[in-house]
Amino acid sequence: MKFGQLVIAGLVTGSIYAVFAVCVSVWYRVSNILNLAVGDFAMLGALGVDDLVRVRNWPLPAAIAVTLVTVAAFGYLYDRVVLHLAQDGRRVHEGIVITFFFTFALSFFIDGVAKVLFGTDVHAAPALWSGRSLSLLSGLHVERAGLLVLACAVICGSMFWLYIRYTLGGKAMEASGENALGARIVGIDTRRYRRIIFTGTAVLAAVFGIIESPITGYTYLSGATISLTGFIAAAYGGFRQPGRALVAGLVIGVTEALLGGYVSAEYGDTVLYAILAALVLAWPRGLGFEAAVGG
């Protein structure tokens, strides 16, 4: 009973991790850039919709549409200006480290803008599927928003997998990440794919922020926390593999809930992080870290 309830709660938080892990690893696979700003786009989506609906009294669909278009425009512009200068210019900034710090700066910037626009309080977008929590078999309860998050995680994850696996565009996209120069030589416009994926993952993150925020509530600083959990889950999926990142996210969520429920509410997270650190140290090759470094 308690176990079932904990697993359900864990699956819900896990699917949040999973989604952001998928965003991080998809983008890494295409562009070789670890994007630390994914969580900030989620925060932007949630707080943007909240601001338009609550403060400016817009209808919900219009608020969502405008927020998503704004996020997409921002992502597009960022790619066009900063990433273009950084990666397509006279001096190419190579190496994971430097490009990672571009997204690190972006994350700071978005947080700063969000602070100006939305203030420092905790807010959330209006629930998309409101109502009491649903009762499942044998008295287990699940939040509606949680169910939505889980469903979206599975749908987006599998759609991306199908895209990579079965379409020419997906293969071209994968090629740009494997070997950008080689991909360009055979006529793949790697910059276009980088732009599509950067804008796409930004919008996807914003959508998840909107769906998920009724559960946890966001402040302008929530982005870093979300990115961090997504980043960790993506790391355990070997960074390049969205499918494994999704599973890793779910497993981490469930473990977290079980540790919180059975071990200690206070030290559950600490134990979780210790386990995660131990896993990396004990089994780096198996988790795909070496491959990620080499690639």
Q: In terms of Cα–Cα distance, which of 33, 77, 21 is closest to 176?
A: 33
CB of 129 to other proteins, least distance (A): 32
The least distance separating other proteins from the CB of residue 266, rounded to whole angstroms, comes to: 5
Q: How far is the CB of 93 from other proteins (least distance, A)?
A: 6
Q: Tell me whether residue 11 or residue 232 sits nearer to other proteins (CB atom).
A: 232
Nearer to other proteins, 101 or 166 (CB): 101
Which residues, 6 or more positions from 238, have their beta carbon under 8 angstroms from its beta carbon?
25, 244, 245, 287, 288, 289, 291, 292
Name the residue nearer to other proteins (CB basis): 40 or 51: 40
Shortest distance, position 293 Cβ to other proteins, whole Å = 4
Instruction: Closer to other proteins by CB, 214 or 238: give it.
Output: 238
For the bound state, the minimum distance from the C-beta of residue 23 to other proteins, rounded and expressed in Å, comes to 17
Nearer to other proteins, 98 or 151 (CB): 98
Residue number with CB closer to other proteins (91 or 132): 91
Question: Nearer to other proteins by C-beta: 146 or 237?
Answer: 237
Least distance in angstroms from the C-beta of 281 to other proteins: 5
List residues binding other proteins (CB under 8 A): 82, 85-86, 93, 96-98, 101-102, 104-113, 115-116, 221, 224, 228, 232, 235, 239, 266-267, 269-270, 273-274, 276-277, 280-281, 284, 287, 289-290, 292-293
DSSP the chain: -HHHHHHHHHHHHHHHHHHHHHHHHHHHHHHS---TTHHHHHHHHHHHHHIIIIIT---HHHHHHHHHHHHHHHHHHHIIIIIHHHHSSSS---SHHHHHHHHHHHHHHHHHHHHHHH-SS-B-PPPSS-SSPEE-GGG-EE-HHHHHHHHHHHHHHHHHHHHHHH-HHHHHHHHHHH-HHHHHHTT--HHHHHHHHHHHHHHHHHHHHHHHHHHH-B-TTHHHHHHHHHHHHHHHTTTT-HHHHHHHHHHHHHHHHHIIIII-TTTHHHHHHHHHHHHHHH-TTTTTHHHHHH-
Expressed in angstroms, the distance from the first to the final Cα of the chain is 45
Closest CA to 168 of 198, 182, 154, 188: 188
Taking the complex as a whole, how short is the minimal distance between the CB of residue 26 and other proteins, in angstroms?
A: 17
CA distance linking residue 175 with residue 42, whole number of Å: 28
What's the closest the beta carbon of residue 263 comes to other proteins, in angstroms? Answer: 13
Which CB atom, from 48 or from 146, has the smaller least distance to other proteins? 48
